[in-house]
């Protein structure tokens, strides 16, 4: 039995056994301080905002009985070390993008974004009215986590490049920053894919350590200052059409809280999820206009580049289909995506096309 199978069997089976033999838990009383580590540099537009917002909600809704102390990336642990910090008990909770942790299990990517995957609305449909939340919980439990969606960036841009991308061949040898399974798919085009924390991307692009980067979208990218380095910006990206952020708590810590405090964490994550998406979408349009005015060339990938993205995505998915849990999540995720898009394409999709045609 491999490690992942063992973890699934022992964690999920052990939980069921414990539930049948143990008495009702004794919840911790009085005030409780929780340390939240994040994958975000302090003040990083949108993403650190979401971590801070969720922490403040927990503090206020618990009437101070839960006190969440935020540690930005590097203040306690590194940006990509937050998962291990929480599962080991070094910290109590993390706010991050779960696709940073695909080395732990590739199915974590579905709770941020996967190439050619769900929009933000489709992700929310699956998560709250399909099997998404249950699958996130099942996956998190294997590693000793209680996980919730806790933010969303909306559709992300295709990225910033030092030179124009005229065809798929331009990715061959290109040093490009892209985390998650999108980065793995891009590797099939010959790119040299880098995974760099958000707070370090500007320096890497500026120094020439990378030839291009995706980050989030016009507002966060403008705040990061990428337009100071290059003027080629591709708006539509294949890798993150609606990227979720996660708020995860150490499972033992979570189970030690009262049901009311557990529900406060869940509610804070859910409210932050909606609030965060609105923050990004509210700011992106005006930021895009400022980028244009500043001389940034707003571009779209050609159809042959999109076809290459699709082929890379198919190869990437095939690489993981031997993992039973990955395939289970993949199948359910895609069934939900098809069900959601069936109506929105012929309703909202038609309306938006006609509205933009009429109003200009």
The domain that holds 310 is classified in CATH as 3.40.190.10
Report the alpha-carbon distance of residue 355 to residue 360 in Å, rounded: 8
Whether residue 270 is contained in a domain is answered as yes
- Nearest Cα to Cα of residue 214 among 172, 169, 168, 183: 183
Series of mean pLDDT values for 10-residue runs along the chain (360 residues): 41 40 58 98 97 98 98 98 98 98 98 98 98 98 98 98 97 98 98 96 98 98 98 97 98 98 98 98 98 98 98 98 98 97 94 94
Check whether residue 58 and residue 196 sit in a common domain: no
Tell me: do 181 and 50 sit in the same domain.
no
Question: Are 172 and 147 in a shared domain?
Answer: no
The vertex-196 CA angle with 201 and 162, nearest 5°, equals 45
Whether 289 maps to a domain, the answer reads: no
Q: For the residues of 139-190, what is the DSSP string, one character each? A: HHHHTTEEEEEEEE--SPP-EEESS---SGGGGTT-EEE--HHHHHHHHTTT
Residues 6+ apart with CB under 8 A from 156: 113, 214, 215, 216, 217, 237, 239, 240, 241, 243
- Owner of token pair 């414990």: 18
Instruction: Give pLDDT, residue 204.
Output: 98
Same domain, 208 and 310: yes
What is the reported pLDDT for 30? 75
Place of tokens 């994550």: 269
Residue 81 within a domain: yes
Together in a domain, 221 and 92: no
Question: Is residue 319 included in any domain, yes or no?
Answer: yes
Q: How many domains does the chain have?
A: 2
pLDDT attached to residue 360: 82
Whether 328 maps to a domain, the answer reads yes
- 8 Å CB contact between 238 and 116: yes
Q: Read off the CATH number of the domain in which 82 is found.
A: 3.40.190.170
Whole-number Cα distances in Å, 196 to 60, 168, 175, 227, 348: 34, 23, 12, 18, 36
Q: Which value, in Å, is the radius of gyration of the alpha carbons in the chain?
A: 21
122 shares a domain with 66:
yes
Domain contains 37? yes
- Whether residues 116 and 219 share a domain: the answer is no
Structure tokens at 213: 């980067």
pTM of the model: 0.91
- d(CA 34, CA 67) in angstroms, rounded, equals 6
103 and 226 share one domain: no
Distance CA 128, CA 130 (A): 6
Residue ranges making up the domain that contains 335: 159-239+296-340
For the chain, the straight-line distance linking the first and the last C-alpha, in angstroms and rounded, comes to 60
Question: Is there a single domain that holds both residue 166 and residue 311?
Answer: yes
Domain identity same for 312 and 330:
yes
The verdict on 170 and 58 lying in the same domain is no
């Amino acid at each position: 039995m491999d490690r992942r199978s063992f973890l699934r069997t022992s964690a999920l089976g052990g939980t069921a056994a414990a539930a049948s033999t143990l008495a009702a838990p004794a919840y911790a009383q009085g005030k409780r301080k929780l340390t939240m580590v994040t994958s975000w540099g302090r003040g990083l537009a949108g993403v650190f905002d979401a971590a801070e917002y969720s922490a403040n909600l927990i503090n206020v809704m618990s009437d101070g009985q839960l006190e969440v102390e935020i540690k930005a990336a590097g203040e306690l642990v590194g940006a990509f070390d937050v998962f291990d910090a929480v599962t080991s008990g070094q910290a109590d909770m993390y706010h991050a993008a779960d696709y940073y942790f695909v080395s732990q299990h590739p199915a974590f990517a579905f709770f941020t974004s996967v190439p050619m995957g769900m929009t933000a609305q489709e992700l929310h449909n699956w998560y709250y009215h399909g099997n998404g939340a249950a699958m996130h919980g099942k996956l998190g439990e294997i590693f000793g986590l209680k996980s919730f969606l806790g933010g969303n960036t909306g559709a992300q841009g295709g990225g910033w490049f030092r030179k124009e991308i005229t065809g798929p061949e331009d990715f061959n040898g290109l040093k490009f920053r892209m985390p998650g399974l999108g980065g793995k798919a891009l590797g099939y085009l010959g790119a040299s894919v880098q995974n760099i924390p958000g707070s370090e991307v500007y320096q890497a692009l500026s120094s020439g350590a990378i030839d291009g980067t995706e980050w989030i979208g016009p507002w966060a990218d403008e705040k990061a200052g990428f337009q100071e380095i290059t003027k080629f910006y591709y708006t539509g990206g294949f890798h993150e059409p609606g990227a979720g952020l996660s708020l995860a708590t150490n499972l033992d810590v979570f189970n030690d809280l009262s049901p009311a405090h557990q529900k406060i964490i869940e509610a804070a994550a859910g409210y932050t999820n909606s609030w965060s998406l609105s923050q990004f979408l509210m700011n992106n349009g005006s930021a895009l206009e400022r980028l244009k005015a500043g001389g940034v060339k707003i571009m779209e990938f050609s159809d042959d580049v999109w076809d290459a993205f699709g082929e890379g995505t198919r190869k990437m998915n095939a690489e993981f289909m031997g993992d039973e849990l990955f395939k289970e999540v993949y199948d359910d995720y895609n069934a939900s995506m098809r069900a959601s898009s069936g109506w929105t394409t012929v309703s909202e999709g038609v309306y938006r096309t006609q509205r933009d045609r009429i109003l200009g």
